[in-house]
Structure formats: C-alpha cells, structure tokens
Amino acid sequence: MTPTATTHDTLLAALRDALGPRHVLTEPDDLAPYVTETRKLFTGSALATLRPGSTQEVAFAVRACTQAGLSVVPLGGNTGLTGAGIPQGGVVLSLERMTRLRAIDPVDATITVEAGMILQDVQDAAERAGLLFPLSYASRGSARIGGGISTNAGGIAVVAYGNARDLVLGLEVVLADGRVWNGLRALRKDNAGYDLKQLFIGSEGTLGIVTAAVLKLYPKPRSTSVAFVGLDSARAALDLFVFLRTRMDRDLTAFEYLPPFALGIVLRHVPGTVQPLAGAHGAYALIEAASARPDSDMREALESALGEALAQGLIADATIGASGAQNTALWRLREGIPEAQTREGASIKHDVSVPLSRLPDFLEQAGAACMAEMPGLRPCGFGHFGDGNIHFNLSQPPGMPAADFLAEWGRFNRIVHDIVHGFGGSIAAEHGVGLIKREELERYGDPVGLDLMRKLKDALDPEQLLNPGKIIARRVAGPISEP
C-alpha cells in the first residue's frame, strides 16, 4: 500500500485519539531532537514522532502505521552511535514515556522494567534492593534500557557479567503487525521451544519493538578494588590479563586498555585528572576486582596478585586505589578518553573485536597501517581489552582541517576492517551496525549468514516496515546486492 496525504491525515487523527494529541508530534521543531543523533553524523526525517505510554498503545501505533504502509523506527535515549535510531521517513516511536519499574524480586534476583527506563535508574533500583544490575556504559544517565537490549550493549563489566544478551531472562515485544509477544519469563532454565527473545536482542528494532524486559540481578559487591598498571606493551597487557583471569578468577570484573596517547590526552584535556604512575610506560591497563563475599578483601587480593605479576616481570608499575574516591579517579582516566579525544580534534572510530590472542597483533598492525597511510595521524586503540573489544579510534593529524580528515573515514574503515576480518574478528563489536556499518556488514559478512538474516527479516517483517534499512538492506530479487 502506498500511503497518501489523506491516509496520513486519517492515521494521525487516529493516533492522536489513541495516544493523546500531546504524544503525536509533527512540528519540525518538535521532531528535530528525534531525527538527529548525538554525533550529528546522520539526520533523518519523519512524518511524526509517537510517544505511546503503554504496551497497548505501542501495539496500536505499530498496527496503525504498518497497516498504512508507514515504517516505524523505535527510539530509546538516542545515545546510539550507528544511526540505528534515525528514521528515513515513516514515524519515530519513542519509548521515553514507558519508564515504569514493573517489579523487582530480591529472591528471584530479577527486575522487570519497561523499555524506556533510563539505565542509571535500573541500576539504582537494583541497588536499593541490595543487588547489582551490572550493565553499564558511559551514556548510562540518558541511555534507555530498551536501547541497550535492542543493541546487545556491552560496556565496562562484560568480563564478569557478559553483554546485555546475557542479562535478559524475558522480553515483551510488539511485532510488525501490532501483536504483542509476552515472553516476560523469570526463569533460569527454559527450553520450551525456540528461545524467541534471542531474535529481538541485538536486532536493533528491525524484527520487533522491545517494550519490557525481565533482567538478571547479581549480589552487590561489598568490596571493590581498582588498580592502574603500567606495562611494556599490548603483549604484556595480554599476558597480564591471562594471568589475572586465573589468579582472580570470577572476581576480575574489568580489564580496560589505554595506549600512552590516550592517557596523555586525558591528562591534558580532562579537568582534575592526575598522572597515576611515576614513569612513562608502553601501555596501561585499568583493572577492577569485586566480590560480595564478606570474607574477601579485594584490595588485599588484587595487591597480592599484582605483586606476583610484578615479581614475574608481567608489569612495570602499579597503583591501587585506597578509597572509593581514588577508585573513581582511576576510572576517570579510562572514561575520560572519548571526551579528551573530542577536544583533541576530529576522530575516525572503529568499534571492533578480535580473539583475545590476536589483540597485540591487531593493535600493532592496524596502528602501523593507519600511520603509514597518513603522516601525523595518531591511533588511539583503547577499551574493553578483556573482551577482545577495542575502540580503534584515529585522532586527526594536528592542524589538518577536520572535514578533510573525516572525508577519509571510508579509506580507514577499509584498512582497519580488513585487518580485523583477517584475524577472524568483528567489525561491529558492541555498538551494532545501524546505518553506519550496513555496507561493511555486506562486505565482510558470510554470504550464507547474510541470507539467513534476510530470511529472518522477511519472516518477521515481510513488509520491511520495522526500522527499515538498518543492519541489512532490503531483500532484492536475484543475487544478494544493495538495491
């Protein structure tokens, strides 16, 4: 069905009736925040933004729009980095009003939340119940949990607790035809048929719209220790990680990597940061250990482990936070990198992963290849080393016009992604595909796998109306190719 102005008017009237006139936005000024993303890499357009207040209203809105042939782009906190929430026509369906905490059960160690709840609010609700919701990343103050689930978000605690996928027990999802799948189960074991929730986690709203979730909670650590370590090289960082993975076992909760360039720009640009170690080193790691066991002193345990690492020559120097404030200050050195890099000029970013064992080779080869391509360029590969996930960002050569540098994004993608692919890695580790990596996925994806993805899309959204054009392009007749 091709929508017409008349059908649009009828549709919008019906939506205003159902959602209330304040929750159907059509004025350009009202729409603007919903069609532009943080980094301003993409600007979209939409007929309207809908703000349903309940699952039933989401279902009504989706059915009404898709029956009228209009596409629907779900949006959470608009903190995504891939353009997955940016509409190219159709309507934006914002989950921002669905922020209810439906239930929390300290015995089951589960929390049931609506998709629009802010991540920080989920964490706080868990904490008030004496528990931990471990999913955490920089945008936690504005990111909404539905977006984290729809993108299978990663973040800083994956070493111990896994990605968003690993924290979801159940989902409620509105399908393309407006039906509601109620999969809100709070079970640790459930093999009653296909595990349907897996379809919707990480599929960026292209197969269904997550409206609520049952999430796993964990014991809240009683003891947390943070160390900042100087190392000779990325290879030494890998040796240290492998040592600590066994030495600290499941009490190792974070292992983040910083090259000297990253530490340098943080100290230069981020107010209040101070040099954590006396000398300069070839690489740095931020390490966190935590336990809920009352008989486990994490500072003592981490100190003893790092003492052994020093004695074995695995590390060159280390400092351990002596208080919560010092731990926060050490984390600030890691978490300040994106802000510092923005102040340092334009950057071209790659969110990639490789098998752990290939991390040092990847960092070395990708760094050398990019520097050879453009004199003065400053590679800044940092991040979730313990997960094999590096944010391989490139800071522009000093003095170069930002636009000239950013025009080379595609060329550096090719260099970096070729190396990642050669190591059996992923060109989209934790941020997803969205618009920004759709063509890269076509290039590097296994052809059989891409065909399976299209089959899934066609099975669940045959009219291609749920977040169209994200992750994979529309299926076309004949051989697989972009339309």
Pattern 24-63, a second copy, x by CB under 8 A: ----------------------------------------
For a second copy, give the closer residue by CB, 21 or 313.
Answer: 313
Rule CB under 8 A: choose which of 13, 32, 196, 476 binds a second copy: 196
* Contact of 33 with 75, CB cutoff 8 Å: no
Q: How far apart are CA 225 and CA 222, in angstroms?
A: 10
Question: Judged by CB under 8 A, does residue 187 bind a second copy?
Answer: yes
Enclosing H/E stretch for 415: helix 409-422
Question: Judged by CB under 8 A, does residue 251 bind a second copy?
Answer: yes
Piece in contact with a second copy (CB under 8 A), picked from 186-194, 268-276, 314-322, 364-372: 186-194
Rule CB under 8 A: choose which of 16, 245, 332, 475 binds a second copy: 245
Q: How far apart are CA 279 and CA 332, in angstroms?
A: 19
CB of 114: closest distance to a second copy in angstroms? 18
Rule CB under 8 A: choose which of 40, 128, 278, 446 binds a second copy: 446
Stretch 97-126 residues interacting with a second copy (CB under 8 A): 105-110
Question: Judged by CB under 8 A, does residue 81 bind a second copy?
Answer: no
Question: Judged by CB under 8 A, does residue 149 bind a second copy?
Answer: no
Rule CB under 8 A: choose which of 1, 13, 242, 368 binds a second copy: 242
For a second copy, give the closer residue by CB, 124 or 166.
Answer: 166
Question: Judged by CB under 8 A, does residue 328 bind a second copy?
Answer: no
CB of 88: closest distance to a second copy in angstroms? 19
- Sort strands 131-132 and 24-25 into parallel, antiparallel or unpaired: unpaired
CA distances to 89, 98, 196 from 59, in Å: 20, 13, 18
Count Cβ neighbours within 10 Å for each residue of 371-407 and write b for 16 or more, e otherwise: eeebeebbbbbbbbbbbbbbbbbbbbeeeeeeeebee
Q: Which of 397, 222, 206, 220 is nearest to 298 (CA)?
A: 222
Question: Judged by CB under 8 A, does residue 243 bind a second copy?
Answer: no
A 10 A CB-CB count for 439 gives: 14
Q: How far apart are CA 387 and CA 399, in angstroms?
A: 34
Binding-site size, a second copy (CB under 8 A): 94
What is the CA angle 313-318-321, rounded to 5? 150
With a CB cutoff of 8 Å and minimum separation 6, the contacts of 364 are 234
For a second copy, give the closer residue by CB, 35 or 168.
Answer: 168
CB of 176: closest distance to a second copy in angstroms? 11
A 10 A CB-CB count for 442 gives: 15
CB of 470: closest distance to a second copy in angstroms? 10
Question: Judged by CB under 8 A, does residue 427 bind a second copy?
Answer: yes
Rule CB under 8 A: choose which of 115, 180, 265, 337 binds a second copy: 180
Piece in contact with a second copy (CB under 8 A), picked from 48-56, 85-93, 405-413, 443-451: 443-451
Q: Which two tokens stand for residue 236?
A: 């030494």
Piece in contact with a second copy (CB under 8 A), picked from 33-41, 90-98, 137-145, 175-183: 175-183
For a second copy, give the closer residue by CB, 121 or 251.
Answer: 251
Question: Judged by CB under 8 A, does residue 432 bind a second copy?
Answer: yes
With a CB cutoff of 8 Å and minimum separation 6, the contacts of 229 are 240, 284, 285, 286, 287, 306, 315, 317, 318
Stretch 150-169 residues interacting with a second copy (CB under 8 A): 151-152, 154, 158, 160, 162-163, 165-166
Stretch 289-308 residues interacting with a second copy (CB under 8 A): 291-296, 301, 304
Question: Judged by CB under 8 A, does residue 355 bind a second copy?
Answer: yes
Question: Judged by CB under 8 A, does residue 249 bind a second copy?
Answer: yes
Q: How far apart are CA 247 and CA 220, in angstroms?
A: 21
Stretch 127-146 residues interacting with a second copy (CB under 8 A): none
Stretch 374-413 residues interacting with a second copy (CB under 8 A): 384, 387-389
* Contact of 456 with 200, CB cutoff 8 Å: no
Question: Judged by CB under 8 A, does residue 224 bind a second copy?
Answer: no
Question: Judged by CB under 8 A, does residue 272 bind a second copy?
Answer: no
Question: Judged by CB under 8 A, does residue 203 bind a second copy?
Answer: yes
Piece in contact with a second copy (CB under 8 A), picked from 35-43, 50-58, 140-148, 246-254: 246-254
Question: Judged by CB under 8 A, does residue 347 bind a second copy?
Answer: no
Piece in contact with a second copy (CB under 8 A), picked from 119-127, 133-141, 279-287, 436-444: 436-444
CB of 3: closest distance to a second copy in angstroms? 26
A 10 A CB-CB count for 260 gives: 14
Question: Judged by CB under 8 A, does residue 481 bind a second copy?
Answer: no
Taking phi over 0 as left and psi of -120 to 50 as alpha, with beta for the rest, 220 belongs to beta
What is the residue whose two structure tokens read 């930002």? 402
Tell me how long the chain is.
483
* Contact of 408 with 400, CB cutoff 8 Å: no
Q: How far apart are CA 417 and CA 412, in angstroms?
A: 8
Q: How far apart are CA 351 and CA 355, in angstroms?
A: 14
Say what angle helices 5-19 and 55-67 make with each other, to 10 degrees. Answer: 170
Rule CB under 8 A: choose which of 9, 30, 195, 404 binds a second copy: 195
